[in-house]
Structure formats: C-alpha cells, structure tokens
C-alpha cells in the first residue's frame, strides 16, 4: 500500500500534471470571460440588429410532451458565438506571436567544433599540402 501512495505522490507532483491542473484552472477563468462577452455584449447587440428576436419561446407540443426547440436553437447560437469569439481571440494571439517571432531574429551562430576535430582537420590539411 505504501508503494501505491508513493507512486501516486510521484504522479501528482510530476510537472505535466501540475501544468494540466493550472491549464484547467486558467481555462475555467477564461471560460467565464468568454461567456460574459457572448452573453452580455455580443448577444444583446445581435438582438438589437435582429429586432429582439428570441428563440427560447419556440416550443413544439407532441402529445403531453412540450419540446423546447427554441432553447436548443438558442444554445446552438450561443455555441457558435462562443466558438467565433474564441477563434478570434486565438487568431489575434497567434498574430501577436508571429510578429514577436519576426522581431527577434534567430542568431545563426556556427556550431563550435571540438578541439580534437579541429586538430584532425589541421593534420588532414597539412598532409594534403605535403602530397601536392
């Protein structure tokens, strides 16, 4: 049982698990920002453009069941708007990264040749000179 807990402790403290946990926490915070942008900014503006069109009241009655088709349509629209916002944010972020990479030129330094290889190269060159 002690070996199991030691293995579990090693798994939890490994870097990739911690990175994943941090990513999930930040993702949760980012989700609330995107949801607020979609629900509090974009959706009301879209409502103004579409004349206050609200799909949530659309329902189909089948027998005694009331199918809330409008809620589904509203959820699909919210999903598409959220995906559009995330896409736009990532596109902007990637363009900033590309610009930053272009600003910082990579140094193309020649690889350092080990001393023994340099010595062998010099000996080879001297032997070629003697032959000529």
Residue 59 and residue 16 share a domain:
no
> pLDDT per residue over 69-128, tens digit each?
988 988 898 899 889 988 998 899 889 888 877 776 666 667 788 888 888 888 898 888
Boundary residue ending a domain (36, 51, 66): 51
Shared domain for 110 and 75, answered yes or no, is: yes
Average pLDDT across the chain, whole number: 84
Q: Examine the domain organization and report whether 61 and 116 are in the same domain.
A: yes
DSSP class of 56 = T
Q: Looking at per-residue confidence, does 132 or 23 come out higher?
A: 23
**Same-domain check for residues 33 and 72:** no
Using CA atoms, how far apart are residues 122 and 43, in angstroms rounded to an integer?
Answer: 74
Residue 28 has pLDDT above 80, yes or no: yes
Same domain for 86 and 116 = yes
Q: Are residues 60 and 107 in the same domain?
A: yes
Q: Clarify whether residues 67 and 122 are in a common domain.
A: yes
Residues 61 and 107 in one domain: yes
Residues 112 and 63 in one domain: yes
Residues 63, 105 within the same domain: yes
Which helix H or strand E contains 65, and what residues bound it?
A: strand 65-67
pLDDT at 65: 92
Q: How far apart are CA 101 and CA 44, in angstroms?
A: 38
Both 47 and 60 in one domain: the answer is: no
Q: Which residues pair with 67 in a beta bridge?
A: 60
How many domains does the chain contain in total? 2
With cut-offs at 50, 70 and 90, classify the pLDDT of residue 53.
confident
Residue 35 shares a structural domain with residue 67? no
**Domain limits for position 39:** 1-51
Q: Which of 13, 33, 129 is nearest to 86 (CA)?
A: 33
């Amino acid at each position: 049982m002690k070996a199991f807990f030691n293995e579990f402790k090693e798994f939890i403290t490994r870097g990739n698990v911690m990175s994943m946990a941090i990513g999930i926490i930040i993702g949760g915070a980012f989700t609330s920002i995107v949801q607020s942008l979609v629900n509090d900014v974009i959706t009301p503006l879209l409502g103004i453009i579409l004349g206050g069109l609200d799909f949530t009241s659309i329902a189909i009655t089948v027998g005694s069941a009331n199918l809330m088709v409008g809620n589904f349509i509203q959820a699909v629209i919210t999903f598409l708007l959220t995906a559009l916002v995330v896409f736009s944010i990532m596109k902007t972020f990637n363009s900033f990264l590309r610009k930053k990479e272009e600003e910082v030129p990579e140094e193309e330094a020649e690889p350092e040749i080990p001393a023994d290889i340099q010595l062998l190269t010099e000996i080879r060159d001297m032997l070629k000179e003697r032959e000529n």
